[in-house]
Structure 1
Amino acid sequence: MTKAGRLLLIALTLLCCAILPAHAGVADAPGANLEISLITYGPGDIYWERFGHDAIELRDTASGEEVDFNYGVFNFDEKNFFFNFARGQMHYLIDAEPTTDEENFYVQAGRSVTRQKLALTPQQAAALRDFLLWNLRPENATYNYDYYIDNCTTRVRDALDKALGGVIKTRLTQLPGGMTYRQQTVRLMSAQPWLMLILDLGLGPYADQPLNAWQESFLPEELQKNLRNIAVSDGRGATQPLVQNETLLSPNRLDAPPSTAPDLRIPLGLAGLIIAALIVVTWRYAHLAYALLGSLFLLLAGLVGVVMLILWTLTTHHSAWGNNNLLLFNPLAFLLMGSTWRARRDLLPSRFANSVLALQLIAILPALLMHLLPGVMQQNQPWILFALPCWLSLAWTLRRQHPRI
């Protein structure tokens, strides 16, 4: 080979050496070069951001490439998106983005960003990477979202648990959770009071079951906290913490949600007493206002009942099934709307309306008695305290003629 040929060969070799590392990265790095971290993002201001978010970060130490894998992508433009949402058949996707792009979005939004570097062996890191890449394929990327048991955090939790051979689930199922699904929901949605009340009203007994730490890790902040309790093998016959180090990359600049769920019994009980007092006062002194107020309450009670029935019978929102609030608000209320206008003209309810009213009052009794029995699951005392005075005041005014002035 000539001198010129040898120089050309050396140049080509150097060029290949320069090009190959540029193409190496997370997708083909050996497991020994992969660093695995859990990235946790704090709650945001928009209602769908209130639960927070998280991602699995894979970093190739050789090339420096960092990629965040997250399961929280949805598309408003999807065909029948809102209809599917109403039926409880929401379609979410896994996505992968450069870490810098992903984290900058949350930093600019004022949401906290925390990184927990995890102790995975090279084999576990490679297996996790291969699973996430497999999950990214179009035929595998979509899943049916569930707020509590199959969401963007439970998917992250399950992927990490799978790579670690079930260590996370084994440990966390032995630890009690701190709150129920209802308490966590009300706590995190308290910044939007009307939405918080609607969700609390619509949740059935499923939302009040005691949780263990594995179940409560449906929330990013709970998964972040619970991973600190996990120990894994260090490969030398001993154990080490799964979380090797934890770094706050960006602090929270938004109003943080409260640490405990607000107690709704006093505010809803007071609201019920105020409405009941207004019903009695308007019945006595402002008959048209009484008819309007009574009809509005009955209309809302009936509509709420219809929605709860639909959620129970026609959707897969299992957290809304078997809702005891149907004893308090149900479509029977529609049948009483005419009675408030009869009362305005000083007419007593018809025999049929009297029967409906009696049936509604009887329905409230089991709602009350169930809280005196052991093993009652659904914690709907706030709505009982709201509905009871309203129904009693309506029943009292509908059954009496106006006093002579």
Structure 2
Amino acid sequence: MRQTIALLLALLLLAIGPAHASVANAPGANLEVALVTYGPGDVYWERFGHDAIELRDTVSGEAVNFNYGVFDFNEKNFFLNFARGRMHYLMDAESTGPEEAWYVQVGRSITRQQLALTPTQAAALRDFLFWNLRPENAGYNYDYYIDNCTTRVRDALDKALGGILKVRLAAEPGGMTYREQTDRLMSGQSWLMLLLDLGLGPYADQPMTAWSESFLPYELQANLRGIRVPDGHGGTQPLVQDEQLLSPNRLQAPPAQAPDLRLPLGAAGLILAIALALTARRWRTGFALLGTLYLVAAGLVGLLLLALWTLTSHHSAWANANLLLFSPLAFLLLPALWRTRRGLAPTRFVNGVLMLQLLAALATVLLHLLPGTVQQNQPWILFALPVWLALAWSLRQLAPPPSP
């Protein structure tokens, strides 16, 4: 009878054991840790890609993806907070199957890298992720470059590994700057790429390490391949034990390098300058209309750059030298364009404003030529300088000669 009862108890434990086992309470020896990387999507906020930490209980088979990329368009003042650089993001967890099925459906690639964490490290990572998942800990202030869904994943893995990632990756140079990576990834939407490039200041051009460049999912994925960790026997082993492409990319992939904007923007600036010069001689109304479009655009851009610097937390847009090329001063020149239709000379005030704007543009060129210059805004210099010179020359040519 006792043997029968013991057998029944054992069978009962075997039956209910897997039902109670889960990622949340599995011993570290049963936890498998992986970095799951998703390719860029078509929508602008998906262009940087995405990733998650997968924890899998090898006994029960349960697998959960932890990611830091949740936001809510319906949040109160969402767009105002976004404009001010105060974006609120959340951490979330979801079963691996449904999450990956969605990425497969929309055609984004999925790559899984199994990582060599010890049972102690895996359990510590699990405990940290569940702590981070609590409502009081899940939110954070998002920053595209230094605190995003990938840097949070990177930092969690680094914490579990005892700081090995930061030590190794901070000692290696990065391949691109924030500006180059942004232009590369946003090149599929040219108008948005140009707006972002115009709005980025010197912060975006600072040299990066492999650690800081791991703000991108693909860069973190690539950088982990070169990391080695202790194997527990006095030697080392690759951190990435296995890498599998679970689903191929079916969308247009971003280019490997950032586009060079100097030629297209320089050509656009030269064409606009020639058009201003020709219309000033042959069609004064056309000159006034064309000049008005440029001055209004330049003034609005100047106001936007000034607001980004003084009123927002977008530190990547602060101290932008493009503010010298596109200034709110442009609005003060608008009356002079229409005065030329009647043969009226620019006023002394307008001449002063125009001279100040030309000096600002010249200062931008000189600043760029100085040793140690950080901001790489040559494309915008090549665009704006010929236009300002053409405007100044045309206004002087259209002014009537001084009376004897």
Q: Which residue of structure 2 lines up, in the alignment, with residue 306 of structure 1?
A: 303
2:110 is the counterpart of 1:103: no
2:204 is the counterpart of 1:204: no
Q: Which residue of structure 2 lines up, in the alignment, with residue 374 of structure 1?
A: 371
Q: Which amino acid aligns with 2:203?
A: Y
| 3-state DSSP of counterpart to 1:68 | strand
| 3-state DSSP of counterpart to 1:246 | strand
Unmatched runs of 5 consecutive residues or more in structure 1:
none
Q: Is the 8 A contact 1:283 1:402 kept in 2?
A: no
| 3-state DSSP of counterpart to 1:257 | coil
CA distances 1:10-50 after superposition (whole Å, capped 9, x unpaired):
65664454223212110000000000000001111111010
Equivalent of 2:73 in 71, 76, 100: 76
Q: Which residue of structure 2 lines up, in the alignment, with residue 18 of structure 1?
A: 15
Q: Which residue of structure 1 lines up, in the alignment, with residue 285 of structure 2?
A: 288
Q: Which residue of structure 1 lines up, in the alignment, with residue 343 of structure 2?
A: 346
Q: Is the 8 A contact 2:343 2:400 kept in 1?
A: no
Q: Which residue of structure 1 lines up, in the alignment, with residue 252 of structure 2?
A: 255
Deviation at 1:373, TM superposition (A): 1.4
Q: Which amino acid aligns with 2:251?
A: L
Equivalent of 2:53 in 47, 52, 56: 56
Aligned residues: 401
Give the structure-1-normalised TM-score: 0.96
Partners of 1:23 and 1:313 in 2: how far apart?
A: 55
| 3-state DSSP of counterpart to 2:37 | strand
Partners of 2:369 and 2:192 in 1: how far apart?
A: 29
Q: Which residue of structure 2 lines up, in the alignment, with residue 66 of structure 1?
A: 63
2:386 is the counterpart of 1:389: yes
| 3-state DSSP of counterpart to 1:369 | helix
Q: Which residue of structure 1 lines up, in the alignment, with residue 227 of structure 2?
A: 230
Equivalent of 1:316 in 313, 332, 347: 313
Deviation at 1:282, TM superposition (A): 1.6
CA distances 1:297-331 after superposition (whole Å, capped 9, x unpaired):
00110000000011001111000000000110010
Q: Which amino acid aligns with 1:348?
A: A
Partners of 2:311 and 2:229 in 1: how far apart?
A: 44
Deviation at 1:348, TM superposition (A): 1.4
Partners of 2:21 and 2:340 in 1: how far apart?
A: 80
Q: Which amino acid aligns with 1:339?
A: A
Partners of 2:327 and 2:64 in 1: how far apart?
A: 50
| 3-state DSSP of counterpart to 1:67 | strand
Identity %: 71
| 3-state DSSP of counterpart to 1:399 | helix
Partners of 1:50 and 1:286 in 2: how far apart?
A: 44
Deviation at 1:401, TM superposition (A): 2.1
Q: Is the 8 A contact 1:284 1:402 kept in 2?
A: no
2:140 is the counterpart of 1:143: yes
Q: Which amino acid aligns with 1:289?
A: G
Partners of 2:283 and 2:31 in 1: how far apart?
A: 74
| 3-state DSSP of counterpart to 1:400 | helix
Q: Which residue of structure 2 lines up, in the alignment, with residue 239 of structure 1?
A: 236
> Once structures 1 and 2 are overlaid, which stretch shifts more, 344-353 or 380-389?
344-353
Unmatched runs of 5 consecutive residues or more in structure 2:
none
Q: Is the 8 A contact 2:333 2:354 kept in 1?
A: yes
Partners of 2:11 and 2:118 in 1: how far apart?
A: 33
CA distances 1:203-256 after superposition (whole Å, capped 9, x unpaired):
000000000000000000000000011110011111001000111111111111
Q: Is the 8 A contact 1:284 1:403 kept in 2?
A: no
Partners of 1:226 and 1:8 in 2: how far apart?
A: 55
Q: Is the 8 A contact 2:110 2:248 kept in 1?
A: yes
Partners of 1:33 and 1:47 in 2: how far apart?
A: 39
Deviation at 1:278, TM superposition (A): 1.2
Partners of 2:5 and 2:233 in 1: how far apart?
A: 49
Q: Is the 8 A contact 2:158 2:165 kept in 1?
A: yes
Deviation at 1:171, TM superposition (A): 0.2
2:124 is the counterpart of 1:124: no
